[in-house]
Amino acid sequence: MNQKTFVKTFKDVQQKMYFLSKRLLTSHEEAADAVQEVMVRLWEKRFQLEEVKNKEAYAMQMVKNYSLDRLKSKQASHLKIVHTNYDSEERNIEDELERIGKVKLVQKAINELPEQYKMIIQLRDIQRYDFEAIENIMNMKATAVRVGLSRARKMLKEKIEEQYKTEIA
């Protein structure tokens, strides 16, 4: 794989890699470093990448693994998993406060899910990956991804309903 093909192949996936890494590492700098490190590793493996069927999923899997390794390392003991949200400037203050409350409720519920379920929810419902890509990224079979997503959504729904009832009472 030459430089032009490499850039063309991985240019679009870099932003997705960043968002996944930022979701895991919470820090802009850590996520940018992770993507840069994975891109270097991909470049070093560029000749072996010819055999890889889904290069995007391969890159996403690499950045996920690298980010999780950073979380486990002693250097990154201050990092934790959180979910970030994006602002829209077309809301009034009452809507914004209500939205913030709902987002915090969902964030809390997502953070209480098991790690694998968090990743599946992130990849499928937030980043909109198809099941095949998630299978490759997570090293899971199709049925395991679908079952995991179903269970994660069910647990998320139950946690949100439970938290909502607690806040109203």
pLDDT digit string, tens, across residues 28-48: 888 899 999 999 999 898 888
Q: Using CA atoms, how far apart are residues 32 and 39, in angstroms rounded to an integer? A: 11
Question: How much of the chain exceeds pLDDT 70, in percent?
Answer: 86
Q: What is the pLDDT of residues 131-147, one digit of tens each?
A: 999 998 899 998 999 99
CA distances (Å), origin 22, targets 8, 82, 159, 167: 23, 9, 24, 30
- Nearest Cα residue to 60 out of 120, 114, 142: 120
Q: Using CA atoms, how far apart are residues 54 and 34, in angstroms rounded to an integer? A: 20
pLDDT band for position 86 (50/70/90)? very low
Q: Taking 80 as the threshold, does the pLDDT of residue 84 lie above it?
A: no
122 phi, psi to nearest 5 deg = -60, -50
Neighbours of 98 (CB within 10 A): 11
Q: What pTM was estimated for this model as a whole?
A: 0.52
Rg (CA), the chain: 18
Token pair 């409720």: residue: 105
Identify the pLDDT of residue 111: 84
